[in-house]
Amino acid sequence: MEIRNTTENRSVVERAFSVLGVFSGRDHSLSVSDISRLSGLPVATAHRMATKLVSLGGLERVEGSRYTIGLRLWELAAHAPRHRVLRAAAMSHMLRLHEKTKAMVNLSVREGAEGIWLESLGWGGPVCVAPMIVGDRFPLHTTASGNVLLAYASSEVQEDFLARALTRHTQGGPADPLVLRRIVGRVRRWGYAAGDFRTERRTFAVAAPLRDRGGAVVASLSVVTDLAGAGGPQCVGPLLATAVRISREIATAEGRDNSIPHHRAHAQKGFPIPLHTFEAVESAEESVVETAVEGGGETALMRHF
* 120 touches 129 (CB < 8 A): no
Write down the pLDDT at residue 274.
42
Cα of first residue to Cα of last residue in the chain, in angstroms, is 58
Which residues of the chain, if any, have pLDDT below 50?
A: 1-8, 168-171, 199, 230, 264-305
Write down the pLDDT at residue 245.
95
SS3 content of the chain, % helix, strand, coil (to 5): 55, 15, 30
Nearest to 138 by CA among 267, 228, 224, 29: 224
Give the DSSP letter string of 230-267.
S-GGGGHHHHHHHHHHHHHHHHHHHHH-TTS-----SS
Write down the pLDDT at residue 296.
40
Nearest to 205 by CA among 94, 106, 125: 106
* 216 touches 251 (CB < 8 A): no
CA–CA dist 203, 291 (Å, integer):
22
